[in-house]
Amino acid sequence: MRACVPLIVAVLCGLACADLYSAPTSCQGRCREAFNKHQPCHCNARCQEFGNCCEDFESLCGNHEGFSRSSDAITKEELQSTSEKIYKADINKARKEDIILNSQKCISPSETGDKVDRCPEPLFTYVNEKLLSKPTYAAFINLLNNYQRATGHGEHFSGQQLAEQDTFLKEIMKTAVMKELYSFLHHQNRYSSEQEFIDDLKNMWFGLYSRSSEEGDSSGFEHVFSGEVKKGKVSGFHNWIRFYLQEKEGLVDYYSYNYDGPWDSYPDVLAMQFNWDGYYKEVGAAFIGSSPEFEFALYSLCFIARPGKRCTLSLGGHSLAIQTYTWDKTTYGNGKKYIATAYVVSSTR
């Protein structure tokens, strides 16, 4: 696959991301200070909500409860090494012959808001559906119909749906991908047992919170993997399996793409524009051909190691950055935060 533009970080995050991570100043001695518009970055209680925290806000001022601290912070080198191990462990990913893409028209970042369908054919020409019958894929797919996509409508899980969440976690924890992630985090003293890790994953990803006036209308899993509609626009929806299944049903209309990653095998990254049953997605960056456990592992790793920050990983020798955001309005346990969103923001050759 070839790149259409070198980076999509500006499209997805805007200039605030660059400001957030390039600021040389620190939160040392400034935690919870009053807002000062003259400061290049901030350390007040709402800086994560506005995306203008100093780079070391979480390590110096955050509620740590098992997450990054300045005394035991996960280094960039450790993130890159671990992500490479996870990449190599993904034996359930698609082979090159398992997926045939028809990416068609590449557009510039300035055109992503045009809402013009420049691709007459579907994105997926062929998918080997034997992939979808693998245990982790099947468990993942069972979760996708458990949500109402419109925010403002409370989610209420049945006993069966709660069991499906447990089944998904159980199946992915059998894989080398998730065993690699747990081993790393256990070594980092983030989790004392595998069950503690599983329980935390269930809370951070499936725990419900409110994105509108309705109590419990969203979760990290729903937003990132299944997709939501808020204020007339598609929100989240960063998963290729979900996209393929919705396109197959005629509910997704692929419009164009503005970024195609440097990988010559799967998983790859594609940033695309599409219409989801009447609602537009301006830029939806997603892994293509990855297993559910692979995406879940990388997003979880970044959320745990770099909550609310840009997280630089390495996959097959190529650098890739993932952005996560915490949901700060509601917490669980001893002040832990739910995951609000996670997505790919950039990759380089």
Q: Name the CA radius of gyration of the chain, rounded.
A: 19
Location of structure tokens 């700060």? 328
Residue 86: helix, strand or coil by DSSP? helix
In DSSP terms, 209 is beta-bridged to 218
Continuous segment of H or E residues that includes residue 343: strand 336-348
Whether 238 is a known active-site residue: answer yes
d(CA 312, CA 322): 7
- Segment holding 34, helix H or strand E: none
- Contact (Cβ atoms closer than 8 angstroms) between residue 89 and residue 82: no
Distance separating alpha carbons of residues 156 and 140, to the nearest angstrom? 18
3-state secondary structure of 207: coil
Given 42, 238, 309, 336, which residue is catalytic?
238
Mark whether 223 is an active-site residue.
yes
Nearest to 343 by CA among 281, 262, 279: 281
List, in sequence order, the alpha helices (H) in 14-66.
15-22, 47-50, 57-61
| C-alpha span between 80 and 73 (Å, rounded) | 14
> How far apart, in whole angstroms, are the C-alpha atoms of residue 7 and residue 251?
29
Q: Which of 42, 93, 230, 281 is catalytic?
A: 281
The yes-or-no answer on residue 281 being catalytic is: yes
Inter-residue contact 245 to 141 (CB < 8 Å): yes
Which residue in this structure is represented by tokens 């209309």?
A: 253
Instruction: Measure the CA–CA gap between 146 and 158, rounded to whole angstroms.
Output: 9
Whether the Cβ atoms of residue 49 and residue 340 lie closer than 8 Å to each other:
no
Catalytic residue among 93, 223, 230, 336: 223
Q: How far apart are CA 143 and CA 147, in angstroms?
A: 8
For residues 178 and 255, the answer to whether their CB atoms sit within 8 Å is: no
| Spatial contact of 302 and 322, defined as CB atoms under 8 Å apart | yes
Positions marked catalytic: 223, 238, 281
